[in-house]
């Protein structure tokens, strides 16, 4: 069992129960023997050689703005006094490690508008003392001013280049947007429950979600239509923690969520078609695909990414031997290079190529 996570930010990567952080080591599986593939078949996941990271390492954020560039951020020597934030950058000439500002222990998220306009959230050993908003201009990473007196939790970039960020400001939860180098407060909620997930399809179509104030209270999911923020009803007995939001189109939005039930059920996949939600439970590892039985599990909770075909890929810590794909009606699976969890996944825009950063600091790709 690991110690407290590198960053105490409430995120989809760590789930705290009873004051103890339960993290990905519970689902680590074998950590060696990365598989290689010279010419992968279509739809096959392969390990992509990248610069090795020191000690125990995680890649917690990944972005691929085009077919030629990938940015993968995370940490090496995690849970050690000398833990360091790392950023890997892939270009047509190969992978390189990119220098980061001093004193950062972990990169928690990476978002890209294009290859010379990339954003990341990073933290020191104590995120309450230091959380940095970073920007890549095509040559180097620099620290950029965040909204005053806010601890940022999640970021996303809309299609016009606007940067959206959720944060905590005193006893309030906030959503802010940065345009023309100026921040504007878009939403203020009078409780610090935290919105750890945000997806901005456009300046007038933004979703933000997070951790419920109580198990039986309303799920914190908000939608912005360009004028007003509306709390979106989530029809369930228990509140849900919105772990990740994958925006594809106004009528095609995916939510990876955990029910805040005392039985700690596994996460579920939810889909918004522009009018209503549907719920799709992940198959149990011991069941045929498409059939589900209850399974209690706590720990790192996986990630999702659009597959470019109307469905999503899902990486689950309680089924590391399979990467699951849901096409909107049924589940299929593919074998990962090794049986570990993809901590972050992203699709290359306008393609079916998906990149993943893993819990052991390696990079995968699905053609």
Is residue 42 within 8 A of residue 367, CB to CB? The reply is: yes
pLDDT tens digit sequence for 208-233? 999 877 777 788 999 999 999 999 98
pLDDT at 239: 86
Q: Say what the alpha-carbon torsion angle 351, 357, 362, 367 is, to the nearest 10 degrees.
A: -20
* Mean pLDDT calculated for residue range 193-200: 90
The two three-digit tokens of residue 153, written as one number: 């939790």
**Residue whose structure tokens are 């106004």:** 250
pLDDT tens digit sequence for 13-44? 433 222 223 233 333 333 333 333 344 455 79
The beta strand positions in 77-196, using DSSP E, are 84-91, 94-97, 106-114, 117-123, 131-136, 141-144, 151-157, 163-169, 172-179, 182-189
What percentage of the chain carries pLDDT values higher than 90? Answer: 69
Is residue 164 within 8 A of residue 205, CB to CB? The reply is: no
C-alpha closest to that of 12 among 83, 60, 75: 60
The two three-digit tokens of residue 98, written as one number: 């990119």
Is the pLDDT reported for residue 203 higher than 70? yes
Q: How many CB atoms lie within 10 A of CB 15?
A: 22
DSSP characters over 259-297: E--TT-PPPEEEEE-SS-EEEEEPPPTTS-TT-------
By residue count, the chain amounts to 367
C-alpha closest to that of 12 among 173, 209, 207, 174: 209
pLDDT at 245: 97
**How would residue 171 be classed by pLDDT, with cut points 50, 70 and 90?**
confident
Higher-scoring residue by pLDDT: 123, 2: 123
pLDDT at 238: 84
According to DSSP, the residues that pair with 136 across neighbouring strands are 118, 141
């Amino acid at each position: 069992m690991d110690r407290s996570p590198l960053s105490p930010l409430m995120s989809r990567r760590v789930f705290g129960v009873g004051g103890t952080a339960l993290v990905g080591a519970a689902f680590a599986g074998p950590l060696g023997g990365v598989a290689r593939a010279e010419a992968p078949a279509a739809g096959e996941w392969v390990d992509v050689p990248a610069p090795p990271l020191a000690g125990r390492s995680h890649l917690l954020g990944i972005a691929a703005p085009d077919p030629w560039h990938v940015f993968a951020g995370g940490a090496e020597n995690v849970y050690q006094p000398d833990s360091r934030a790392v950023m890997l950058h892939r270009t047509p000439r190969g992978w390189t490690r990119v220098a980061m500002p001093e004193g950062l222990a972990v990169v928690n998220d990476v978002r890209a508008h294009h290859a010379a306009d990339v954003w990341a959230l990073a933290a020191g050993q104590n995120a309450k003392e230091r959380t940095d908003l970073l920007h890549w201009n095509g040559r180097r990473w620099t620290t950029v001013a965040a909204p005053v007196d806010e601890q940022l939790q999640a970021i996303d970039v809309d299609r016009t280049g606007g940067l959206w960020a959720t944060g905590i400001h005193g006893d309030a939860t906030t959503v802010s947007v940065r345009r023309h180098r100026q921040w504007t407060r878009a939403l203020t909620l009078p409780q610090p429950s935290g919105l750890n997930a945000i997806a901005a399809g456009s300046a007038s179509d933004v979703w933000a979600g997070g951790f419920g104030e109580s198990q039986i209270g309303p799920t914190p999911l908000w939608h912005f239509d360009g004028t007003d923020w509306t709390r979106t009803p989530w029809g369930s007995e228990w509140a849900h923690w919105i772990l990740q939001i994958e925006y594809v189109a106004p009528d095609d939005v995916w939510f990876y969520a955990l029910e805040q039930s005392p039985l700690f059920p596994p996460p579920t996949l939810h889909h918004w078609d522009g009018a209503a939600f549907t719920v799709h439970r992940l198959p149990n590892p011991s069941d045929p695909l498409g059939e589900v039985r209850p399974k209690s599990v706590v720990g790192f909770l996986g990630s999702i990414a659009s597959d470019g075909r109307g469905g999503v890929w899902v990486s689950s810590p309680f089924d590391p031997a399979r990467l699951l794909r849901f096409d909107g009606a049924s589940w299929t699976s593919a074998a990962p290079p090794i049986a570990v969890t993809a901590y972050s996944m992203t699709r290359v825009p306008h393609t079916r190529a998906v990149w993943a950063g893993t819990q052991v600091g390696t990079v995968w790709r699905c053609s």
